Structure 1
Amino acid sequence: MKKWRPFATMPEQYIGLQEIINKQVEVTQPVLTEEQMEQINFTLIEALHTNKQVYLTYYKGGQCIKETGFIQFVDSLGELFVFTDDIFELKNKMGLSELIDVQFV
């Protein structure tokens, strides 16, 4: 697809090519086992109580995204958590179903 980028001179053409490229790198959301979900839950709770920095891997928009940050809040009944990223210190609210992996730094 890189060889077609010089031909993307019109904005509509560039948008169309970008959509095609984005669809090619899309992945399906991995299905987690019960054991993996329990391990993620234990790691989230421990990171919350000890205020340790964690690596988060989550699924969003067809991509697996990795970030580092600190867990601020976990609501297992509402199935969401809040984390602060370490770069811009922004609070992000996310569903637990989007989470793929959590590891300590």
Structure 2
Amino acid sequence: MEHRGMKKWRPFATMPEQYIGLKEMINKQIEVAQPVLTEEQMEQVNFIFIEALHTNKQVYLTYFKNGRHITETGFIQFVDSLGNLFVFIDDVFELKNKMRLSELLDARLV
């Protein structure tokens, strides 16, 4: 009699294509449409960015990426309103992230 090893513990993992397809379907169901900010909300974000830049305060950012709302904490380093970009330094890993202002949903001071 031959020992089957790990095969006996993976009876349903014989079709990896099925798992890939199911994962894609679940991710599509989770996706949401990107909301559009009003003028008032954009002004509020602008004031928070100005204050965060001048006082070097930490900021909670909520932005839209790949159909999801993502919230991160960190510091605003640079804002280019003409180029529609800003540079955000992540609080956890201290990585620089370039983001578009159009992807931003909300900003709050910590």
- TM-score if structure 1 supplies the norm length? 0.90
Q: CA deviation at 1:7?
A: 4.7
2:87 alignment partner, SS class: strand
Contact 1:8 1:17 in 2 (8 A): no
State which structure, 1 or 2, has the greater radius of gyration over its C-alpha atoms: 2
Which segments of 5 or more consecutive residues in structure 1 lack a partner in the other structure? 1-5
2:37 alignment partner, SS class: coil
In the other structure, the counterpart of 2:41 is 36
Cα distance in 2 for partners of 1:28, 1:8 equals: 33
Contact 1:70 1:83 in 2 (8 A): yes
Cα deviation, 1:17-67, whole Å, max 9, x if unaligned, reads 100010111011111100100110111111011110000000000000000
- TM-score if structure 2 supplies the norm length? 0.86
Q: CA deviation at 1:77?
A: 0.8
How many residues in Structure 1 have an aligned counterpart in Structure 2? 100
Which segments of 5 or more consecutive residues in structure 2 lack a partner in the other structure? 1-10
Cα distance in 2 for partners of 1:56, 1:83 equals: 9
* Two-structure CA RMSD over aligned residues (Å): 1.3
- Could you tell which deviates more after superposition, 7-16 or 95-104? 7-16
